[in-house]
Amino acid sequence: MTLRFVEVADRVHVLREPVLDVNVTLVVGDGEALLVDSLSTAGQATELAAAARAVTGHPWTLVNTHHHYDHCFGNATLAADPPRPVYAHELAAAALRERPDALRREAYEELRGERPEFAAEVAGTELLAPTHTVLTEAVLDVGGRRVVLRHPGRGHTDADLVVHVPDADVLVAGDLVEQSGPPAFEDSYPLQWPDAVAELLRLTTPATVVVPGHGDPVDAEFVRAQHRQLVDLAWLIRAAHTGSAPPERVAAEAPFGARPALIAARRGYAELNGTP
């Protein structure tokens, strides 16, 4: 299947990768471009580069929304030769710089049961750490277009970045918002995630195109509904922890399904116990 970008707003294009349903966003300015996320392997990133080149020949800057393999393992293919700037939250950059072997191993373990060949390809991918780090906010000029990189707080990870393109009314949310499946809680901060999404909502209008980490672009109302679910989940975790109920009690009552909710409850309990 040939990867291709679809324009979702003025000179903002989204590519939806078919294996893990990951979104990559391409913002095109005058003489420059911005790619948000780089997929999982060198092979995927090579196809991604070809798809981007079908839209624009401009040199690009790369942004990683976070350090999970499906969003950043293509960095070396897209930004090493010739060298291009790569932005990420400082904790995501540190993870890629300081523990690449651990990240490859974690990705392999996650994938090997259902996709053993893909898991081996991911595990053998050369990693490139970001060259530019963001703590709370950075503003980029992408060929005359103002693009804001913002860390809204802990949520899906401790290092999430969102990408706001105000002149197109587009918000790239990374895995803080999910459309094609439930949120992933393995590295999450479920008690703080609602506050992070509330920060995203402050950047939206009724017409905003929100690009989730996985799945179809959505609107602000979808994000509001997911925010309510995250608020409910956080409340259930706090209430169950106060009542010394097991995490399984949360999983039985919470949104998003039993398995994701159980992972979230265990993460939330650890946070409340001071051992996240």
pLDDT, one tens digit for every residue, the chain (276 residues): 688 999 999 999 999 999 999 999 999 999 999 999 999 999 999 999 999 999 999 999 999 999 999 999 999 999 999 999 999 999 999 999 999 999 999 999 999 999 999 999 999 999 999 999 999 999 999 999 999 999 999 999 999 999 999 999 999 999 999 999 999 999 999 999 999 999 999 999 999 999 999 999 999 999 999 999 999 999 999 999 999 999 999 999 999 999 999 999 999 999 999 886
* Residue-range domains of the chain with CATH: 5-220 (3.60.15.10)
Residues 6+ apart with CB under 8 A from 202: none
Run of H or E residues at 35:
strand 33-36
Q: What is the signed CA dihedral for 260, 20, 22, 264, rounded to 10 degrees?
A: 10
Q: Distance between CA 187 and CA 189 in Å, rounded?
A: 7
CA 74 to each of CA 24, 44, 125, 208, 227: distance values in angstroms, whole numbers, following the listed order: 11, 7, 8, 28, 30
Q: Distance between CA 236 and CA 212 in Å, rounded?
A: 25
Q: Exposure string (b/e) for 190-210, b if CB count within 10 Å is 16 or more?
A: bbbbbbbbbbbeebbeeebbb
Residue 145: closest CA among 12, 8, 30? 30
